[in-house]
Amino acid sequence: MPLGALLADWRTRVLLACSSLPVAVETTYLMMRGEAGNGDAAVAFALLTVTACLLMALTPRLGGWAIVVLWTARCVMPQAVAFSILFPLLMAVTVMAYLRTGPSLLASVIAEIAAAARIWLYPWDTTVLATVCATAALLMVALWIGSSMHGQEQREQERRERAMLLRRLGDQRLAEQLHHSVANDLTTILLLARQARSASEEVTATKMEGSADPEYEPRALSLDDDQLVTLIERTTEESLVKVRRLIAGLDRLTEPAVDTASGRSSTSISSFHGGDDERRHAPAGFSIRSISRFRDSLTTQVGSPSSPTSPISLASLTHEELESLTEGYRAQLRGIGLEGEFLIAGASSVECSEDCREALLSVLREIVGNMMKYANPSGAYCIALTIDNGRATLSASNAVDDTDLSDGTGLSAGTGLLRCRQSALRLGGEFEASLADGLWTGLLVLPLV
């Protein structure tokens, strides 16, 4: 609902139009009692008030100023006219304060000056001073009500916009998690399965050709079938664990709060499987806390007034962990026929933020996945990772067959490199990738804290 939407409600418009009823009722009462003085002036004044209220229902600002003018005229007129025009005046000031504080404040000052002018114009009227004081108090109340309504609606609009932004960024984060954890693993499984099928077809064709040759000797395969099956099985298991942990993380975001009276919380879906997976498996670069941590950080980034800035969560990144991780990637690359080097250099252990650690490992996983999809087996790959002086530098290169980039196999429709660049920029780093003369190169520079 946009700001000022209260006036778009037809019920509000009807209420503004009906604010002239007290003037009409009082004018009728004065004429029946014979206290209206110049009856024609009183009737004309009442009709003008009705017209101004109808105008305020259509165009609140213009109608509000018209009522202020009528109030000013009523204050300086010697004839006895309805005092209840104060009610439309208060409605006008409230609406004007709801729309904008400045004009409503000016209108209130003008109305109060007009009321105070009767002290000098009609000094014999003993009720003038009380009228001036009451008018000032009521105008202040009207200003407060209108400005409060404006502030409340503005806060609600900001809260809705913040919630929409959180949902949109949360969806982007979820897409990144699915891409980094599931899509890459499924791609690896697909490539390994294709490699296994290709090797099996090669063995079958060789056997058929050699069955007619009495001097045929079976030729050993370049890759053991058991090794391929092991790689596929391990990658599938890790992918399944990541999906379960992702689901558990989403479940935990929607868990009901702990009942403080009983000290117990209701059971969630994640309680049945989240704990075991978290204790037994820890796929690199995927954290079950990342989604909730990202949600909390977003609340601070978009300016939540009630959320204090949370301290940066630190994690460690060790040389042994990277070596173990790269050994698994090396086995996957070797499984599809790619050979090359992984180089790990720098400090043996560093402290880094959880987000930077996750981004670094995600980019590394994306680079390995792209090599598996596009690298030319006839060339070698090279991946070098250096961690030192609070900064991580990841460089990679491999030969690429240009004809394989859009081969229609369904492997070239991802957005991984774009997500890597967005993650690096979000954390104050840089990521560049280029393809020239059949050589793909990538460079990531990322601050660790």
Residue 259 placed within a domain: no
Domain match, 279 and 332 both: no
Percent of the chain with pLDDT strictly greater than 70: 67
Query: How far is residue 27's CA from residue 40's CA, in Å, rounded to a whole number?
Result: 11
Residue 138 placed within a domain: no
Find out whether 36 and 74 touch, Cβ atoms under 8 Å. Answer: no
Residue 367 placed within a domain: yes
What local confidence, expressed as pLDDT, does residue 420 receive?
86
Q: Give the residue from 70, 97, 125 where a domain finishes.
A: 125
Domain match, 305 and 180 both: yes
Domain match, 234 and 361 both: no
The CATH number linked to 428 is: 3.30.565.10
pLDDT band at 398 (very low <50, low <70, confident <90, very high): very high
List the structure tokens of 1.
Answer: 């609902």
Residue 159 placed within a domain: no
Domain match, 319 and 425 both: yes
Domain match, 95 and 68 both: yes
Supply the mean pLDDT for the chain.
75
Domain match, 328 and 430 both: yes
* Residues 19-68: tens digit of each pLDDT: 889 888 888 888 887 776 666 778 888 899 999 999 999 999 999 999 99
Domain match, 174 and 291 both: yes
Domain match, 104 and 12 both: yes
Domain match, 193 and 303 both: yes
Residue 134 placed within a domain: no
Contacts of 402 (CB under 8 A, 6+ apart): 438
Contacts of 148 (CB under 8 A, 6+ apart): none
289 against 431, higher pLDDT: 431
93 against 401, higher pLDDT: 93
Residue 92 placed within a domain: yes
Query: How far is residue 205's CA from residue 156's CA, in Å, rounded to a whole number?
Result: 70
Domain match, 240 and 340 both: no
What local confidence, expressed as pLDDT, does residue 184 receive?
67
Q: Give the residue from 72, 91, 125 where a domain finishes.
A: 125
Residue 85 dihedral angles phi and psi, to the nearest 5°: -65, -15
* Residues 246-298: tens digit of each pLDDT: 666 666 655 544 443 334 343 333 333 333 444 334 444 444 445 455 455 54
Domain match, 281 and 319 both: no
Percent of the chain with pLDDT strictly greater than 90: 18
435 against 305, higher pLDDT: 435
Find out whether 442 and 349 touch, Cβ atoms under 8 Å. Answer: no
Alpha-carbon torsion, ordered 425, 431, 436, 438, to 10 deg: -130
Residue 143 placed within a domain: no
List the structure tokens of 167.
Answer: 């949902």
Domain match, 285 and 183 both: yes
Query: How far is residue 409's CA from residue 187's CA, in Å, rounded to a whole number?
Result: 11
What local confidence, expressed as pLDDT, does residue 353 receive?
87
| 353 backbone φψ class: left, alpha, beta (φ>0; ψ -120 to 50) | beta
Q: How many Å separate Cα 269 from the centre of its chain?
A: 25
Sign of the CA dihedral with 241 first, then 242, 248, and 249 last: positive
Q: Give the residue from 61, 95, 125 where a domain finishes.
A: 125
396 against 131, higher pLDDT: 396
What local confidence, expressed as pLDDT, does residue 358 receive?
86
Total count of domains within the chain: 3
What local confidence, expressed as pLDDT, does residue 397 receive?
93
Find out whether 417 and 401 touch, Cβ atoms under 8 Å. Answer: no
86 against 312, higher pLDDT: 86
What local confidence, expressed as pLDDT, does residue 445 receive?
93
Q: Over range 323-351, report the average pLDDT.
A: 88
Cβ-in-10-Å burial (0-12, 13-18, 19+) of 86 comes to buried
Q: Over range 167-175, report the average pLDDT.
A: 74
Query: Letter for the amino acid at 447?
Result: P
pLDDT band at 142 (very low <50, low <70, confident <90, very high): very high
Residue 392 placed within a domain: yes
pLDDT band at 438 (very low <50, low <70, confident <90, very high): confident
Cβ-in-10-Å burial (0-12, 13-18, 19+) of 71 comes to buried
| Domain region containing 442 | 313-449
The model carries a pTM of 0.48
